[in-house]
Amino acid sequence: GENVEQHPSTLSVQEGDSAVIKCTYSDSASNYFPWYKQELGKRPQLIIDIRSNVGEKKDQRIAVTLNKTAKHFSLHITETQPEDSAVYFCAASRDMDSSYKLIFGSGTRLLVRP
Amino acid sequence: DAGVTQSPTHLIKTRGQQVTLRCSPISGHKSVSWYQQVLGQGPQFIFQYYEKEERGRGNFPDRFSARQFPNYSSELNVNALLLGDSALYLCASSLEGTAYQETQYFGPGTRLLVL
């Protein structure tokens, strides 16, 4: 069945360092890959997404890369700040069957130490 | 411009009871999806509705049902509640419900506790 694996489950970095979170998906038909940030007790917030027609996308300190051959995608956060501390979820979706069904990874708890 | 709204914010029920959760999508959005997020895990897809029709269903028992109204708001119903139904229930909306072409936005969720 469809599955998204996410690593690591926890990540602790020093303020100013970079953080990388990796996800692997099983459904080769997946073509949309969003990343969500969820702070404690709050809703998931979309921070960046990538579609299968590109290999990389960047938005200020955040970037996502996609390797369709290997079926994995990664989130890169540079110059981390304490407010980046949260749980990050990757997800994958395909719309071949015209549905918007996101399959989420299990999450990465990022802690940025001041 | 209001985002996705959900009610109630919190709910406590006992085993065997029934619950109804409500969601209002962003204005102009026609697609609503429901997710269950158990503590410490990623959200799991339950249903998607578009133009009042079910467009997708996740791997949940028949105790879970949903519907969408002409104004695109939606309700999620869960019957015969089990302890394992305790979770944060998230609603998400998008314009037309096609992942490749648009973004999906989440509501704040309803936290359900089953005792």
Q: What is the pLDDT along chain A (114 residues), one digit of tens a residue?
A: 689 999 999 999 999 999 999 999 998 889 899 999 999 888 999 999 998 888 999 999 999 999 999 999 999 999 999 999 999 999 998 866 566 788 999 999 999 999
Q: How far, in Å, are A36, A60, B49 from residue A20 at the CA level? A: 14, 15, 34
The tens digit of pLDDT for each residue in B20-61 reads 999 999 999 999 999 999 998 999 999 999 989 998 899 999
The distance from CA B8 to its chain's CA centroid, rounded to whole angstroms, is: 12
Q: What is each CA distance from A82 to A13, A15, A104, in whole angstroms? A: 10, 7, 25
Question: Is it the case that residue B103 has pLDDT exceeding 70?
Answer: yes
Buried b / exposed e over A64-79, threshold 16 CB at 10 Å, is bbbeeeebbbbbbbee
| A58 vs B99, residue with greater confidence | A58
B5: nearest Cα among B96, B110, B78, B83: B110
- Cα–Cα distance, A81 to A114 (Å, whole number): 8
Residue written as token pair 């969601």: B23
pLDDT, position A29:
87
Contact list in A for residue B109 (CB cut-off 8 A) is 43
| pLDDT given at position B61 | 96
Enter the tokens of residue B107: 């509501």
Query: Under 8 Å CB-to-CB from A5, ≥6 apart: which residues?
Result: A23, A24, A25, A105, A106
Mutation for testing the A interface, residue in B4, B95, B106 having most A CBs under 10 Å: B106
Q: Name the phi and psi angles at B43, rounded to 5.
A: -60, 145
> Most A CBs within 10 Å: which of B39, B45, B49, B89, as the mutation test of the A interface?
B45
End-to-end CA distance of chain B: 37
Q: Which residues of A touch B94 (CB under 8 A)?
A: 100
pLDDT at B99: 65
Whether the per-residue pLDDT at B102 is higher than 90: the answer is no
